[in-house]
Amino acid sequence: MIFMTDKVAIVGLGYSGFSPSTDRVSYKEMMFEAAVKAYRDAGIDARKDVQSFICCTEDFWEGNSIADEYMPDQLGGALRPVCTVAADGLYGVITAFMQIRAGLVDIAVVESHSKLSDVVSKDDIARFAIDPLFGVRNLDPNPSFLAGLEMNRFLHETGNSRESCAEVASKNLKNATSNPRASYGSKKSPKEILSSDVLAYPLTKLEASKPADGCVVLVLASESRARSLAEQPVWITGVGWCSESPWIEGRDMSSAGYASTSCRMAYKMAGIKDPGKELDLAEIDDTFSYKELQHMEALDLCGRGESGRLVERGFTARDGVLPVNPSGGSLGLGYMAEATGLHRILEASLQLQGRARKMQVKDAKRALVQSWRGIPTASGAVVVLEGGP
């Protein structure tokens, strides 16, 4: 019999891919490799021990309808309960968290992957999400123009500078040079970033993340199972999620309301009063350089208009007061569609377990993970993680 539990932990981590292109393997083969690693890490037999499998995927990214029918086999979930969450991977983690907290299952598996190298036009898929009747989709725009508009408004309203956005990109690209999972690590100065080609004014191409392939599989367990399975469980102590209005014209582009709402939920659950002082590191969305600044402020890691100065002063560096994206973030690792949130969970968990090697943040005990589903959405989630016994 399974009983309700107050604590849920990540007890197994598995991943594969993490490359601009994985043309020699299918997404199913990537999933199988990641799943085998995760089950070995957790010390479980998926066919016997797992009561729930959760995949985060979207038909458009897969190129076929009802894509979730193709997910169970390589996860060991054939003829077992498998559900699909058409959202970022953090939503899948939260779904598994709720299933375990409610006492429905005591071990759940969450998977998400990216095979963006197979997608002919990522922008065309994003354009489908723009309202076709009352929005701007009928003008056939490149969706990146929304990032330029939002960046302009955010900088204007908060007083953050273009230079501070370039500092974010420079920091994350450099951090990625130490990460074996990163596809785009490089040493670029803020000046080089600002002088690169314009993507959508004022956003330059070096301030936008590039696509990458990869798969992440996580094993979650109730407290009783976690303590028997893992020497170093990573506890999920707070979760939150939010979707704002789908109407682009009705949003406040100077802020990330979805992140503010999500973090308030997660901080309350985790008992966090002052996140800027109580967190040891943060893996947050940096799909575009300005997004890291916008999300820092929305997540109460600093005050409005303060994020840029903190980045420029080294506050968010890997050896700074509050390291932000020490893994390299999406700018350095690559953007992985619905798997993006899971790769942040992976990186934060390795930090809390002391397994991040060259990227290790000293004395990391509590981490914040945050996701944004990307243009043109206003959806995101937040998870608070803690290491220790």
pLDDT in tens, 78-87: 989 999 999 9
Q: What is the dihedral of CA 244, 248, 250, 253, to 10 degrees?
A: 80
Q: What are phi and psi of 295, to 5 degrees?
A: -75, -35
In a domain, 194, yes or no: no
* Sites in the chain below the pLDDT cut of 50: none
* 63 falls within a domain: yes
Q: Looking at the DSSP assignment, which residues form a beta bridge with residue 386? A: 235, 366
CB 193 within 8 A of CB 206: yes
Q: 37, 54, 39: which is closest to 110 by C-alpha? A: 54
Kindly report the number of other CB atoms within 10 A of residue 128's CB atom.
Answer: 11
**Three-class DSSP category at 342:** helix
Nearest to 211 by CA among 335, 63, 89: 335
Handedness of CA 14, 39, 373, 350 (dihedral sign): negative
Number of domains composing the chain: 1
Q: Does 298 fall in a domain?
A: no
Range of the domain at 75: 8-120+212-228
Instruction: Classify residue 52: in a domain, yes or no.
Output: yes
**Cα distances (angstroms) measured from residue 120 to each of 110, 115, 226:** 27, 11, 42
pLDDT at 4: 63
Tell whether 188 is covered by a domain: no
Asked if residue 197 belongs to a domain, the reply is no
CATH number at residue 40: 3.40.47.10
Residue 241 lies in a domain: no
95 burial (CB, 10 Å; 0-12 / 13-18 / 19+) is buried
Query: Rounded to an integer, what distance in angstroms lies between the CA atom of residue 342 and that of residue 186?
Result: 23
Instruction: Dump pLDDT digits (tens) for 119-165.
Output: 988 888 888 888 777 767 666 678 899 999 999 999 999 999 999 99
pLDDT for position 140: 66
- The answer to the question of residue 100 being in a domain is yes
